[in-house]
C-alpha cells in the first residue's frame, strides 16, 4: 500500500530536507561545544590569577618591587608570584605595540613591570598592593572569568534557541511534505480507507516510511558534518588534556582511522552523545509528524 499511497516519500525530498536540518543542528551543537570549551578554559585560567602592573617611572622601582613580591609571597592563599621578563612583556603588549625585534627593542618607550600572582582563594590583593606600592595597577583576572561565563551562557542560550528553531522548521517541513504526498494520492487513500483500512493502519504505514527516510537523511547529514567536526577537534586539541599522542600512520586508511580516533578522544563526550542522538530524534520527529498529519487528514474525509 505504501507504494501507491505515498510516492512522494520516496522522491528523496524528505531525506534531503532532514539531512540539511541535521547539518544545521550539528553545526549549532559543534559551535556550542567549542564555545563551552573555550569559556571553561579561559575562565579556569583566569579564576585564580591576578595581574599587577607597575609603571616604569615609579621611584625606587627595583627595591619597592622586591618588597611587594616578598609581601605577596607571605600572603595567605597566594601560591606563586612571578615577574615577567622584558620579552614576555613585549609579547603581552604585542597586540597594541606590534612585534618588536630583540635587537631594536622599543626606543623611547619604557615597559612596566608585570607581576602574575597565582592564588587558591580570593585574597584582597588590591588592598595589599596599594598599601605597599600605590602606583601599581591591579587587574583581577577572575572578573574576566565572570564576564566570559556570562558571554558563554548567552551563546549557549542562542545555540539552543537555534536548535529549537531548526527542530520546529523540520517538523513543519516534514508535515508539509507528508501532506503533499498524501494529497497526491487522495483517490487511492480514499479507496483503501473506504474498503475498511483503519486510520491508524494507514497513518502507521506512512509514518513508518517517513521515519525511515528521516533516519537515512539524518545519517547523511552527519556524514556531511564530519569534516567540520574533524576541524573542530583539531582546534580543541590544545585545550584537551586527554588527547592521545599522534602516531605516524603507515597508510592513508591508517591516517583516516587515526584522525577519527583522535576526534573521538578530543571532542567533548556530551557533543558526541548529542550528535549520535540526532538521527534518532529526526526519525522520531518524522514518525510523530507524519502520524499526526495523516490522522488529522483522514479524520476530515467524508
- In this model, does residue 8 exceed pLDDT 80? no
- In this model, does residue 9 exceed pLDDT 70? no
Q: Is the dihedral angle over the CA atoms 117, 123, 127, 128 positive or is it negative?
A: negative
Quick one: pLDDT band at residue 247, thresholds 50, 70, 90? very low
DSSP state of 243: P
Q: CA–CA separation, 258 vs 129, rounded Å? A: 51
Mean pLDDT over 222-227 rounds to 86
Cα 232 versus chain centre, distance:
9
Mean pLDDT over 7-24 rounds to 76
196: which 3 cell numbers?
475498511
Other Cβ atoms less than 10 A from the Cβ of 12: the count is 12
Question: Residue 172 in contact with residue 243, Cβ under 8 Å?
Answer: no
- In this model, does residue 248 exceed pLDDT 60? no
Mean pLDDT over 217-221 rounds to 92
Between 27 and 121, name the one with better pLDDT: 27
Q: CA–CA separation, 154 vs 24, rounded Å? A: 19
Quick one: pLDDT band at residue 157, thresholds 50, 70, 90? confident
pLDDT score for 228: 79
pLDDT score for 265: 67
**Sheet containing 137-140: which strands, arranged edge to edge?**
78-83, 113-119, 49-54, 137-140
Q: CA–CA separation, 2 vs 172, rounded Å? A: 22
Between 170 and 148, name the one with better pLDDT: 170
Q: Is the dihedral angle over the CA atoms 286, 292, 293, 295 positive or is it negative?
A: positive
Between 82 and 105, name the one with better pLDDT: 82
pLDDT score for 298: 79
Phi, psi of 130 (to 5 degrees): -65, -30
Mean pLDDT over each residue of the chain, to the nearest integer = 76
Question: Residue 19 in contact with residue 224, Cβ under 8 Å?
Answer: yes
Of 6-10, 107-111, 145-149, 212-216, the one with minimum mean pLDDT is 6-10
Quick one: pLDDT band at residue 61, thresholds 50, 70, 90? confident
Q: Which whole-number Å values give the CA distances from 224 to 211, 219, 298, in the listed order? A: 20, 9, 37
- In this model, does residue 215 exceed pLDDT 90? yes
- In this model, does residue 107 exceed pLDDT 60? no
Q: Per residue in 112-139, pLDDT tens?
A: 888 888 887 666 788 888 888 888 888 7
Amino acid at each position: 500500500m505504501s507504494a501507491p499511497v505515498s510516492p512522494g516519500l520516496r522522491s528523496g525530498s524528505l531525506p534531503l530536507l532532514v539531512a540539511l536540518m541535521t547539518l544545521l543542528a550539528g553545526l549549532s551543537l559543534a559551535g556550542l561545544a567549542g564555545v563551552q570549551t573555550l569559556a571553561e578554559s579561559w575562565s579556569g585560567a583566569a579564576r585564580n590569577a591576578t595581574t599587577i602592573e607597575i609603571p616604569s617611572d615609579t621611584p625606587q622601582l627595583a627595591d619597592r618591587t622586591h618588597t611587594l613580591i616578598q609581601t605577596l609571597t607571605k600572603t595567605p592563599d597566594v601560591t606563586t608570584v612571578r615577574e615577567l621578563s622584558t620579552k614576555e612583556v613585549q609579547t603581552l603588549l604585542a597586540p597594541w605595540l606590534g612585534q618588536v625585534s630583540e635587537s631594536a627593542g622599543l626606543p623611547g618607550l619604557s615597559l612596566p613591570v608585570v607581576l602574575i600572582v597565582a592564588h587558591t582563594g580570593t585574597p584582597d590583593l588590591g588592598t595589599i598592593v596599594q598599601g605597599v606600592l600605590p602606583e601599581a595597577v591591579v587587574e583581577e583576572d577572575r572578573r574576566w572569568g565572570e564576564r566570559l561565563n556570562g558571554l558563554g551562557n548567552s551563546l549557549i542560550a542562542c545555540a539552543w534557541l537555534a536548535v529549537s528553531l531548526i527542530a520546529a522548521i523540520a517538523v513543519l517541513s516534514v508535515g508539509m511534505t507528508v501532506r503533499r504526498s498524501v494529497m497526491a494520492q487522495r483517490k487511492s487513500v480514499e479507496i483503501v480507507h473506504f474498503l475498511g483500512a483503519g486510520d491508524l493502519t494507514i497513518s502507521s504505514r506512512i509514518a513508518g516510511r517517513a521515519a525511515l527516510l528521516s533516519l537515512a537523511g539524518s545519517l547523511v547529514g552527519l556524514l556531511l558534518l564530519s569534516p567540520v567536526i574533524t576541524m573542530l577537534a583539531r582546534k580543541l586539541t590544545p585545550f584537551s588534556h586527554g588527547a592521545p599522542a599522534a602516531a605516524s600512520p603507515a597508510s592513508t586508511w591508517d591516517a583516516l582511522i587515526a584522525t577519527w580516533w583522535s576526534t573521538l578522544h578530543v571532542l567533548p563526550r556530551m557533543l558526541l552523545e548529542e550528535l549520535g542522538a540526532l538521527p534518532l530524534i529526526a526519525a522520531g520527529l518524522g514518525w510523530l509528524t507524519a502520524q499526526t498529519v495523516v490522522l488529522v487528514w483522514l479524520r476530515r474525509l467524508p
